A = this chain, B = another copy of it.
Amino acid sequence: MPVGTQATVKAVFPETLIELDAEIILANTYHLYMRPGHKLIESLGGLHKFMHWDRPILTDSGGFQVFSLGQLRKIDEEGVRFQSHIDGSPHLLTPELSMAVQRALDADIVMAFDECIPYPSERAYVEASTALSSRWARRSKDSHFRDDGAALFGIVQGGMYRDLRQRSVLDLLDIGFDGYAIGGLSVGEEAELMYEVLEWTLPHLPTDSPRYLMGVGTPENLIEAVARGVDMFDCVMPTRNARNGVLFTTFGKISIKQARYHDDPLPIDPACDCYVCRHYSRAYLRHLYQGNEILASMLNTQHNLYYYLNLMKGARNAIDNGCFQKYRSDFYRLRGLSLPA
């Protein structure tokens, strides 16, 4: 899922997302709650109409941004008290409010409200936080009144502790959700530890419900998570890196600002057939980047989204055709890397 934080996937027209075959995007509840406000968006017909996007939208619960952006946070049983990062105004975000905001936005997939646990954290903290997230998950489910069929996903927490991850899974299965997300990863831990947590968690999640790894990650992370059973991802990496001139290719990533591309007539990725690679040279893209041109962000974002969406499309096809392990080893071979252990 491309990330459309403020009701726009940065630097991309919705029509371009359709051309890129993006089936769903993510929008951030916290940001839209703060500005322009969920009631305004509701009064204008919901987020789809507001941002001119007809396909599905998944909204996060707002929790993650409250923890990363909100100031003077204070967590209690009721929810999270914090101050806005924009104007310092005081707010209280609860599971019930998160559901109401996501309903007002008209999300197609709603995420339960949880606490994203920092890494590293003491076991006692993780245990208490995971139990609180389970109670909040129950309250999220209880207040998710939707007659339009919008789905509700629970979020597995439990930090880096195997038994707490499993306890979190059992709590969520007991409540029952339309899909299950794995939260609290990609928070600073080593990739190997993330893969280990996935291996502890995924086998316990039902295979007939979507399994979604939140906020991950690099192309390597995606391939490894797919290998372990993940179905869905969101990450700002393709779009944010694009705006910083970091571009993904079949052969690894490149930084277009480097002087070596000054007069390079090749496309970003000679093996890519996206719009950008068909029409523009690295020399031109470097020139645009050096000149702070908006078109640099537009073209770089379009290429990186194509790369990510195409990588996942390839993985789906490979799974369908029973050759995912070959797909995975080709992925590493073209990068000059050996398969991870």
**Chain B residues with CB under 8 A of A40:** 262-263, 283
A interface secondary structure, majority: loop
Binds B, one of A188-196, A216-224, A287-295: A287-295
Contact at B280–A44, with CB atoms within 8 Å?
no
- A283 CA to B39 CA, complexed, in Å: 13
**Assuming the A-B contacts A6-B291, A7-B287, A294-B297, are A280 and B52 also in contact, with contact meaning beta carbons closer than 8 angstroms in the complex?**
yes
For A296, give the chain B residue with the smallest CB separation.
Answer: B8
Docked Cα-Cα span, A7 to B287, in Å, equals 9
CB contact between A293 and one of B8, B50, B262, B286 (< 8 Å): that residue? B8
Residue in B13, B284, B286 whose beta carbon sits within 8 Å of that of A51 in the complex: B284
Contacting pair A11 B263 (CB below 8 A): no
A281 surroundings in chain B (CB, below 8 A)? 44, 50
Q: Are B8 and A44 in contact (CB under 8 A)?
A: no
Residues in A258-288 with C-beta less than 8 Å from chain B: 262-263, 265, 279-281, 283-284, 286-288
Contact of A10 among B263, B287, B295 (CB under 8 A): B295
Between-chain CB contacts (< 8 Å), 25 pairs: A7-B284, A7-B288, A8-B288, A8-B295, A10-B294, A10-B295, A11-B294, A11-B295, A13-B295, A35-B290, A35-B291, A36-B262, A36-B283, A36-B290, A40-B262, A43-B263, A44-B263, A44-B265, A50-B283, A50-B284, A51-B284, A52-B279, A52-B280, A52-B284, A294-B294
Q: How far is the CB of A298 from chain B (nearest CB, A)?
A: 7
Interface positions of A from 3 to 18, Cβ below 8 Å from B? 6-8, 10-13
Task: Output the nearest chain B residue to A280 by Cβ-Cβ distance.
Answer: B52
Chain B proximity of A295: nearest CB distance (Å): 4
Chain B residues whose CB sits within 8 angstroms of the CB of A36 once the complex forms: 262, 283, 286-287, 290
Nearest 9 pairs of A and B residues by beta carbon: A11-B294, A8-B295, A52-B279, A6-B291, A36-B287, A8-B293, A50-B284, A294-B297, A10-B294
Q: Contacts A6-B287, A280-B52; is A298 near B263 (CB within 8 Å)?
A: no
Interface residues on A, range: 20 to 34
Digitize A1-33: 1 where CB-to-B-CB distance is under 8 Å, 0 elsewhere: 000001110111100000000000000000000
A298 to B6 Cα, complex, angstroms: 15
Distance of A287 from chain B, by nearest CB (Å): 5
CA distance A294 to B302 in the complex (A): 13
Question: Taking CB as reference atom, which chain B residue is nearest A297?
Answer: B294
Residues of B within 8 Å of A8, CB to CB, are 288, 293, 295
Contacts of A52 in B (CB 8 A): 279-280, 284
Write the nearest CB–CB distance from A160 to chain B, whole angstroms.
35
Q: Across the interface, which residues of B come within 8 angstroms of A293, CB to CB?
A: 6, 8, 10
Nearest to A40 among chain B residues (CB) is B263
CB distance from A129 to the nearest CB of B (A): 31
Residues of B with C-beta under 8 A to A35: 287, 290-291
What are the residues of chain B within 8 A of A297 when measuring CB–CB?
294
Q: How far is the CA of A284 from the CA of B43 in the complex (A)?
A: 12
Q: Which of A290-317 contact B (CB under 8 A)?
A: 290-291, 293-295, 297-298
